[in-house]
Amino acid sequence: MALGLLVPKSDRMVKPKHILLIIGGGIAAYKSSELIRLIRKAGMTVRCVLTESGAQFVTPMTLAALSENEVHTTLWSLKDETEMGHIQLSREADLVVICPATANLLAKMAGGIADDLATTLLLATDTQVMAVPAMNVRMWQHAATQRNIAQLKADGIIVMQPDEGTMACGEFGPGRLPEPEAVMAEISALMGSPSLAVQESGLGRNPLDGQPAFAPDRHRPLRGKHVLITAGPTHEPIDPVRYIANRSSGRQGFAIAAAAAEAGAQVTLVAGPVHLPTPTGVTRVDVETALEMEKAVHDALPAEIAIMVAAVADWRADSQSGQKIKKKGAAPEPLKLTENPDILAGLARHAQRPALLIGFAAETEKVTEHAQAKLAKKGCDWIVANDVSGDVMGGTDNSVHIITKSGSEIWERLPKAEVARRLVAKISEEIA
């Protein structure tokens, strides 16, 4: 029997994942220092490529000290080309991360331009690439940038959604670099939780453990959670041109989906027939009927949180006419109806019931009383009831009653976006 072939698991060496970090030019480049620290703390190695503009904001010496690797800055280094080469530099990596990815870098990537070390590496690599944009709000919203983003996604590049907030230029809106913790979470997800592999490898304590952060923490309370939301009406066909429906604009459900995504959640939005843009960072599933919505909801499980906002039609035609029902000078035959499934109640009984299940109730009178009855009947955890006797349907404002098993609270008339943000904050506190 040969010796040395059987190695105890604790003694096996697991090669750490390697990240190639490309740092573009912009004020957000300072956050790369914290990202390097987090990458190393997770047990991964990191090598940095610093663009000429990036070097205006962070020094090669800082990056080299944190990464404990040489920092590459130019394509025209004889030493680097002899020892490694720009192609090998990218191909040895398990993931290429561009952080921050400026509008200029994104444009060059989309156009296939290779005029410096960073862009040449990106054009020469077959490794997965993740871009983390950071730029002025107007630059981010410009049609050219959005066109470039769409092209990069079509090319297989992973593009993180930037944060929204106050910028160094004083403007407010989307375009801020996500906090390093959020970027690291995406890297870890792509690398399959490499920190666990490092622990199993017996490599020991990471020397960066316990070091202070270089950037303040920004809590994203729903990160790692899957939130399932329904919104809009359902249309139950009678014939090819007529249907049964409840009135619903879908705006409140879409606003909640947007707020949940902003809080870091993975969001699946099952939407009835509405003409609303899909919120950023949200996976949308379009349906028409209650039966289609029920199937889409079940297909989206498991989810930690489910918020059933949709105004699902209670009934559907027992049979659908294949042709338009014509007027014949008299009332048509009575329409036979059959009850639609109760999606909320069914989800409450489901084997994969979300830990927090929230239903919505549109009421015209005795709002709290009816909501409390619905809470008990449906088997959910919360009911969000709104008085739709006014102009709520299709409007931009809402007033809601939050009914839970422990009590109730009333939110007076607020913009639907604000209702959504408050609801997501309350959910975050509940599951914390």
CB 367 within 8 A of CB 345: no
Dihedral sign, Cα of residue 417, residue 420, residue 425, residue 428: negative
Decide if 62 contacts 33 (C-beta within 8 A): yes
At 273, which amino acid appears? P
Q: How many CB atoms lie within 10 A of CB 343?
A: 25
Is residue 169 flagged as an active site residue? yes
Selecting among 48, 99, 169, 380, the annotated active-site residue is: 169
Per DSSP, the three-state class of 215 is coil
Q: Which amino acid is at 354?
A: P
For residue 402, what is the enclosing H or E element?
A: strand 397-404
Residues in the chain: 432
Q: What is the largest CA-CA distance in the chain?
A: 96
Q: Which of 207, 158, 184, 153 is nearest to 17 (CA)?
A: 184
The answer to whether 384 and 358 are in contact (CB under 8 A) is yes
Looking at 43-137, which runs of residues are DSSP E strands?
45-50, 95-101, 129-133
Sign of the dihedral defined by the CA atoms of residues 369, 370, 374, 375, in that order: negative
10 Å CB burial of residue 132 (0-12, 13-18, 19+) is: buried
The residues annotated as belonging to the active site are 169
